[in-house]
Structure 1
Amino acid sequence: MDTVSHIIFGLGLGALAQIDPMISTNSTLSTAVIVGTVVGSNAPDFDFFYRLKGKSTYYRNHRGWSHSLPAIPSWSILTTAAILPFFAGSSISHMFFWILLSVTLHVLLDLFNVNGTQALRPFSKKWLSLDFLPLIDPYIIMLHVLGFSLLPFFETGRTFTFIYLAMFIYLLVRLTTTQFTKWMLKQHFKNSLRIKMITKTSPFQWDVIIETNQDFLFGFYSTGELRIQHTFSKKVDYPGLVIDSSQNPEVESFLRSTHFAYPFVQKRKSGYFIYWKDLRFRSKKFFPKLAIMLISLDYQNQVSYTGKLTSIKHYKRVIKKLETSIK
């Protein structure tokens, strides 16, 4: 989820914590818990400092150790220790419990969307994602806004108990419908290798990627109907260049962040363009998240780009810059 959503969750958990009389009757502890849940709800994303070392380092590490099993208690302890000096006399156990809950909820929410996390580190480096929440969920945000708007009229802790109960039911419906739809698609596409569900804003609509031995099928599923919009053949031109490009440090880091990157090769006057497109993110036939590598026609020079393209104009600027750099 995005930073704003995590902040909203932090405030919501701070409000929910008021169900505890020890917190609601102690203004210092109450403030400490609210500050702690807001900071804790964002703590796993403090790995954005990897950006200072470049995109390749960020792709390699984001949502890795920072969202792992050991990171949950570690972030909770660090956050509690950082906040405690500003709220002398506050109950450490109460602060730690709610901060731990906020950190845990952050990791779970990121696990629920298409990006996923390496939540099972150090036992597994596999990327896990349950694919039943969009990156920004307006319904969850509206539930929180409703809860905040009711605070002048009702008791804070009880209000957010009902808000979070409603949210739990909503998440359960999202999870159930996504898994059931995926199961139905697997029954129909029995020869598929993988099926990826990319949740849309509506709880009952998904973009779908179906991988077979021969190709990738891209479709849209809604109201019991799947519409295949286009396909990509898995045949790869210049396989040797593709292998070479995958060993480039920036491209390798990009590939570590997704299991749904696939190469496309295009020969131009300036050289060979190898596009590693993250198939999970698309707008029709445009894939904005990718790694691009340009290898000169004599194989002596290469340049690369990794990141997210915001438009066709942005794409053309990147291509022109790569072509200029290799001359």
Structure 2
Amino acid sequence: MDTGTHVVMGVALTGLATLDPQVTPTFAAVATGVMIGSQIPDIDTVLKLKNNAIYVKNHRGITHSIPFTLLWPLILTFLIYIIFPGVDVFHIWLWTQFAVFFHVFVDIFNSYGTQALRPISNKWIQLSIINTFDPIIFVSHLIAILFWTFGVNAGIAFGTLYIGLAVYYVIRFILQDAIKKQALKQIQHEHNPVKIFVAPTIRFMEWRIAIQTETHDYVGRSYGRNVSFNDVFKRQTFPNDHIMAHAKYDENLRAFLSFSSIYRWEVTRIDKDTTELRFIDLRYLKNGHYPFVAILHLDDDMKVTQSYIGWVFTEEKLMKKLAA
């Protein structure tokens, strides 16, 4: 989820913590642990300062793993005990642990996902039923917090909130399954779909769709139960060894291939000295444009002279980033 949603979830968990009679004497310490615990797995956002490749490859990776989900609360509890000496360490740890776990848990429901089972498995868990920012989830938290602020019992305010959201998540699963079935029905002439990606947008009834079959890639959207495919691409074999001899070692391309599951590629001669190799993620079509790409410029010996990975919404901005 986005930072704002994790913040309001932290406030809600802080409200729930007041139901624990052992929290009252140490409320400030527990609230500190819960609010920081609700954010700390995303500390890997600082990797953006290094470069996009490292960020794409590692965001929501080790910091959301089993060891770190257990380690963060211990670190925070220790630091909080230094700031608030003599407080109830067990209950600070308990609620901080719940906040960290809850952060990692809710992140598995969007399309970016997490490596929450690492080191048991490095597989990305991405259930893709909730958009990174979901207005219904965010606003419902604000309403529950407002009721709590005006004196409604925390159990009633936040209990009602999370029962309602549990129902909401079930509805999202049902909608996603219905859209998958409808999308596959519309390409039933194809044999053996290899991958299918159905992920939400910020609009409740609009979903992104990308399907890879043995022969074609289908990209489109659903509006309610109506599925419309905007683009159909014939499947390509991977770029030949001559092109990939040096490109396969480029950190931007390696990051792209580790993250993207449905993509196509293009090779273009852009001037007498430069060949462009472009990998395009097909999962994020928006307004006729595919914004998530990896771009490599190669010289006549197929050595990489420039490369970039990231979200770009115009060619002009892309060229500026490559030139930077």
| AA of the residue aligned to 2:318 | Y
Q: How does 1:107-186 map to 2 (within 5 A)?
A: 107-150=104-147, 151-186=149-184
Within the candidate set 299, 302, 324, 2:302 is matched to 299
**Residue 52 of structure 1: how far off its partner (Å):** 4.1
Deviation, 1:93, is: 1.9
Pairing 1:194–2:204 present? no
Q: State which drifts further: 261-270 or 211-220.
A: 261-270
* 1:63-78 correspondence to structure 2 within 5 Å: 63-78=60-75
1:18 alignment partner AA: T
TM-superposed deviation, 1:159: 1.5
1:8-38 CA distance string (max 9 Å, x none): 1111111121222332x43xx2222222111
Aligned to 2:4: 4
Report the Cα offset of residue 149 of structure 1: 1.6
TM-score by length of 1: 0.89
Q: Is the 8 A contact 2:179 2:227 kept in 1?
A: no
C-alpha distance in 2 between matches for 1:125 and 1:237: 24
Match runs of 1:79-94 below 5 Å: 79-94=76-91
Superposed CA offset, 1:51-97 (max 9, x none)? 34433322222211111122211112112222222222322222112
2:113 maps to a residue whose letter is: G
> Is 135-144 or 178-187 further displaced after alignment?
178-187
2:211 match: 210
Residues 313 and 18 of structure 1, relative CA distance in 2, 3 Å threshold: same
* Bigger Cα displacement from structure 2, 139-148 vs 292-301: 292-301
What is the Cα-based RMSD across aligned positions, in Å?
Answer: 2.2
1:145 Cα shift? Answer: 1.0
Select which of 308, 311, 314 maps to 1:308.
311
Q: Give the length in aligned residue pairs.
A: 318
Residue identity matched to 1:84: Y
In 1, Cα distance between equivalents of 2:109 and 2:187: 24
Deviation at 1:316, TM superposition (A): 3.7
Give distance in 2, aligned partners of 1:170 and 1:237: 41
Distance 1:14 1:243 in 2: 54
Partner residue in 1 for 2:267: 265
Instruction: Indicate if the aligned counterparts of 1:208 and 1:218 stay in contact, CA closer than 8 A.
Output: yes
Q: Secondary structure at the match of 1:202?
A: coil
Amino acid at match of 1:102: A
User: Structure 2-normalised TM-score?
Assistant: 0.89
SS at match of 2:167: helix
- Secondary structure at the residue paired with 1:70? helix
